[in-house]
Structure 1
Amino acid sequence: MMKVKICGITNLADAETAVTAGADYLGFIFYLPSKRSVDINTAKAIVQTLRAAPNCPVLVGVFVNETGEHTAEILDEVGLDLAQLSGEEVPFLVGDEQSPIYGRCYKALRPTSLAEAKADAEWYSVTSNRLSVNSNQSPSLLIETYHPTLRGGTGETGNWEMSAQLAQSNPGLMLAGGLNAENVAEAVRLVRPFAVDVASGVEAYPGKKDPTLVRAFIHNAKNSG
């Protein structure tokens, strides 16, 4: 069944809504310019409550151009499973055993072309044996819509044809970019990704989820056929 990440979690109510609806991943954004950023103490309190429940999903911290050392510190302090690298991070952070977050991260790509996507995938793709989290739960890459300045959450739909070609050679691909409850089933059918990721597409306003949209998105993604 399709896996789903609800990203941009800023409060416990939204987190619990997503978990109850069947989310496989929750994303916490540690990037201040984002409208969906969360501070470390708030994230830590949410995570502690989630960890006490029996059905805690994989918890992901989203980072932009942080050092490996700082990223590892936040992962440990907050209690997160994985880091999503959404900036211009170097391949060393993902693929080198000397990296502070080796085996605990995956790269988000914002390619402008299929050629660029394939080249980046060669540099950054994570093999299952490099991940400390169960490989059946861990993405190898995330692909999102290119934007010259924004780091995700643009609401702009990506190039699904390009994503589909990338998914064929990267079975752990997570798809993001302009997804919502209305189009996610079609996106899943066309791209056949490992998982789908949504932030703005299930919001009442930036930083606050709409429970009805969260439930509809997860249901439609997981029942897309």
Structure 2
Amino acid sequence: MFVKVCGLTTEEQIDWAVELGYSAIGVMVTTKSKRYRTPEQARALADHARGRITTFAVALEASEVAEVADAFDVVQLYQWADLPNLAFCSSNPPAPEQTSEYFFYDASAGSGVFAEFPDWVRAQPGKVVLAGGLDPDNVADVIARHRPFGVDVSSSVETAPGVKSRDLMRRFKAATDADEVLE
């Protein structure tokens, strides 16, 4: 199962994600985020992660990632853009012409508030990743019911905005273990 932890702000948090077996990390490059990293900070984090874990630069629109897109493996946007390495985020199904490497269903728009996932998400083709309010206590049930390609977490593995907890990250990752979820 693909498991991404988003909103990382330090090299130590990247090290934890690698140690715990996460598939990818996300760095916020939109100034609207409490977890915002400047272009210089974002590049440094991408450099630290390179070759160890897949990196996502996360923003609302393409203009916000222009300075750093080349440093990351994937660009995750909430407004569709025609990019080869796009992860498109929306609470609505993408139009047929809106193709992307990943489709993130996130009705919370980064707020971390859980809402039940709609049935149409199960029928979406491609790499569908569920996000929004997932935590160590609800993620296994969500995976069992919806069978997504992956899941994404941020605020529920924090003690404060941008301050990740290694223990909460460990608990979330353990809850996504395929053997446990399929039982």
Q: Which residue of 1 aligns with 2:60?
A: 64
1:159 maps to: 116
CA distance in 2, matches of 1:181, 1:121: 32
Q: Compute the displacement of 1:166 (Å).
A: 1.8
Q: Is the 2:56–2:72 Cα contact (8 Å) retained in structure 1?
A: yes
Which one of 106, 121, 132 corresponds to residue 144 of structure 1?
Answer: 106
Q: Are 1:144 and 1:158, in contact at CA under 8 Å, matched by a contact in 2?
A: no
Q: Which residue of 2 aligns with 1:104?
A: 85
What displacement does 1:155 show? 2.2
* Pairing 1:8–2:7 present: yes
Please, what is the CA RMSD of the aligned residues?
1.8
Aligned counterpart, 1:21? 20
Question: What is the CA-CA distance between 1:48 and the residue it aligns to?
Answer: 1.9
Aligned length: 180
- Report the AA paired with residue 206 of structure 1: P
Q: Which protein has the larger Cα radius of gyration, Structure 1 or Structure 2?
A: 1
Q: Which has the higher helix share?
A: 1
TM-score when scaled to structure 1? 0.74
Compute the displacement of 1:203 (Å): 0.5
Residue 49 and residue 75 in structure 1: after superposition, are their counterparts in 2 closer, same or farther (change >3 A)?
same
Alignment match, 1:183: 138
The counterpart of 1:219, out of the listed 150, 174, 179, is: 174
* Structure 2: gaps spanning 5 or more residues: none
Q: Where in structure 2 are the equivalents of 1:24-35 lying within 5 Å?
A: 24-35=23-34
Q: Give structure 1 stretches of 5+ with no counterpart.
A: 95-101, 111-116, 127-137
Q: Aligned letter for 2:75?
A: A
Q: TM-score normalised to the size of structure 2?
A: 0.90
C-alpha distance in 2 between matches for 1:75 and 1:145: 24
